[in-house]
Structure 1
Amino acid sequence: MIKNHDRKFKIGMHSYTLHLSGFGESWGFQEFGEHHAFEQVATFKDLVNIAAEVGLDVLHITLVDIQNDTSDEHLAECRKIAEDAGIELELNVSFNAPSDPRVNCNVVDSLNIAHKLGCNLVKYSTDVEHPEKSSHSCLAPSVMAQLVEIYNQFHDNIPLIEEYGMKIAIENHCDLFADEVIWLVEQLNHPLIGACCDTINSLMVMEGIADCVRKMAPYCYCVHFCDNRVFADPDGTHSLGTAIGAGNVDCKAIMDILREEAPEGLDTIDLEIELPLSGYTIEEGRELELNGLRDSIEYMYKELGIGYNPAKIYGDSNYFLNK
């Protein structure tokens, strides 16, 4: 049996999982040099209701999900909606998102917004640019110059982070190697500042999933838990998102690492699904996203022992029954 086998986590969802309904972020269109926004067909209250219905404990949201309305009145309304439903909130922001600038925010504003929403964590995508020959560009001079500037932004706001008691998580968001995230966290050297490990993003910098998770786990305050199907065909090598447990990622092995190595500050596992866009209408895609969400929660709770609220739907977890 692994160390900390019985360690429990809340189950969260990155709202990007429902991006075809206009939640989270419209991502990936940077290759076409354009901004994009899927039509938002539901409200923040609808999103919270979905979370409660499917058994989530936490919603990991972006500014898009609150319609970019950061007035005190609207933030208080959103906070009450979540609290009344028993759903905790985390905030996800970017510094310079390449295809959906609606998610962008600076450190000060994001901390203030998160505090008013009642969040206990803010996740940051730093949007660092690497040289075109990126495979061996970890900690390259041009990258380090950007990391120093990012360090200064966080360091200058440590008093506000401390005032709010807010956990900070810096993500390997397709733009940072694990060692670069770790460098930032170690240089900042503060108990409230850690990492967010996305279990698929490492592929974008040609970094192995297992190695990335092992490196980042001791620093993690946040996890974007993903599963993908990786395959080759005559058009090349592809990585396509699936419901958790339906792809090629060994999800149990990743959770074993996190249970053994992650600090106590990691108390939530946020699932994230990115289903392919092609092959169906957007209406069909929205339904597939909801089905994938339900399948993922059932798998993560039953087989990986993640979550508290899913017990109301699924009863006992196989994970804890099959020690």
Structure 2
Amino acid sequence: MGQFQVGIDNYSLFPLKLNPLETLHWAKDHAAEGVAFSGFIEPEYQQLPSAYLDDLKQFAQANGLYLEWGGASHIPRDMTSWDKKDLFKINQKAASEAEKLDTRIVRSCSGGLMRWQPESPMTETLLQETAETLRDQRSMLQDHNVILAIETHFEFTTFELLKVFERCEAEPGGFVGICLDTMNLLTMLEDPVMATERILPWVVSTHIKDGGLTVNSDGMNSFVAELGRGVIDFYQILNRLKTLDRDLNLNIEDHGGDFSLPIFDPLFLSKFPDISVAEFTRLMKLAMQSQQKLDKRQCEIVDRSDWPALCEQRVKRDILTLKKIRSKF
């Protein structure tokens, strides 16, 4: 069994406009044990000199902080125009930077809400193109000794990610893996515990994020909640992650906002063909629990516009809460 370290994802602190080194200082000052740099302010990221990476590495090592990197993508398309996009150089840059930082984890996220947009390519098309892209990048990623950690985002369900791995002939512990975002699973109509079980051998990184579901006239909404105040069962999830034979960083990702899930639209729901009655029933139970918490003011839905004023204090509390949960293991 591996060990857990509790840290933050820098996306949580984006409103503070910290550069990467300042983010590491913030983590150290607030008892986080590391930082996953999964997202960047684009102009700043393009201008990072090699010497700056050395500074990050040295500060992290001197203060006992872990590092994870990002900047990679896996769907070879422009997610707005849907034009084809060559990802090799983009991912090679991210992999090279991670190697210089002495971290193996490179988080990959393409973004986009394909199932929500009628003009999007078919999911099957994107699955096949992703598998081909990953297959073509295998040697490059292995040469840099990194793992491309595909986030459970809004692109593919865990069922579909397993298909991608099969098609690119990957194996757990190899050149690709999963960054498990616990709340995004709700948005993809997956029960977080069941989804964790499905992809468990592939998990190499995490976005520990709480949340919930509400029911409305259009279907449901998923929302982000302060850690420990939503309905995601982190004890069950960590109990499963604890069985892995490697250490795992628990990266807190927190932000405001909610997401529309128009499940009463048959066309939208048909785009999730792997959902079972059993799993959908569990989602409805989570929605009921979420509403109870909201009614009792045990949690709240924070508008994204309000997040900047709240983020620093909430992330501080998130760190304390997650450490308490970790202490049970």
Indicate whether the TM-score tops 0.5.
yes
Equivalent in 43, 53, 65 of residue 19 of structure 2: 43
Partner of 1:25: none
- Distance of 1:295 and 1:111 partners within structure 2: 32
Partner of 2:62: 84
**How far has the Cα of 1:224 moved from its partner?**
1.2
Unaligned runs of 5+ in 1: 22-39, 135-139, 306-316
Equivalent in 1, 25, 44 of residue 67 of structure 1: 44
Which deviates more from structure 2 when the two are superposed, residues 290-299 or residues 144-153?
A: 144-153
Partner of 1:188: 169
Partner of 1:160: 140
Equivalent runs, 1:297-316 vs 2, <5 Å: 297-302=319-324, 304-305=325-326
**How far has the Cα of 1:279 moved from its partner?**
7.1
% of aligned pairs identical?
18
* Equivalent position amino acid for 1:80 in 2: Q
Tell me whether 1:178 sits opposite 2:154 in the alignment.
Answer: no
- Distance of 1:97 and 1:266 partners within structure 2: 34
Q: What is the DSSP-based 3-state SS (H/G/I as helix, E as strand, rest coil) of the residue aligned with 2:242?
A: helix
* Equivalent position amino acid for 1:296 in 2: D
Which deviates more from structure 2 when the two are superposed, residues 286-295 or residues 221-230?
A: 286-295
Given that 2:72 and 2:94 are in contact with CA atoms closer than 8 Å, whether structure 1 keeps it comes out as: no
Tell me whether 1:106 sits opposite 2:82 in the alignment.
Answer: no
Question: What value does the CA root-mean-square deviation take over the aligned residues?
Answer: 3.3
Q: What is the DSSP-based 3-state SS (H/G/I as helix, E as strand, rest coil) of the residue aligned with 1:63?
A: coil
Partner of 2:222: 239
Divergent runs of 4+, >6 A? 233-236, 277-282
**How far has the Cα of 1:232 moved from its partner?**
4.3
- Distance of 1:281 and 1:275 partners within structure 2: 4
* Equivalent position amino acid for 2:22 in 1: D
Partner of 1:33: none
Tell me whether 1:206 sits opposite 2:186 in the alignment.
Answer: no
Partner of 1:16: 11
How many residues in Structure 1 have an aligned counterpart in Structure 2? Answer: 271
Given that 2:79 and 2:110 are in contact with CA atoms closer than 8 Å, whether structure 1 keeps it comes out as: no
Change (3 A) 1:66 1:250: farther
**How far has the Cα of 1:234 moved from its partner?**
7.5
Unaligned runs of 5+ in 2: 81-86, 259-300
- Distance of 1:266 and 1:80 partners within structure 2: 21
Partner of 1:293: 315
- Distance of 2:48 and 2:146 partners within structure 1: 18
Tell me whether 1:223 sits opposite 2:206 in the alignment.
Answer: yes
- Distance of 1:131 and 1:280 partners within structure 2: 23
Change (3 A) 1:15 1:206: same
| Superimposed CA distance per residue, residues 103-134 of structure 1 (whole angstroms, 9 cap, x where no aligned partner) | x9722121112222332210111447645589
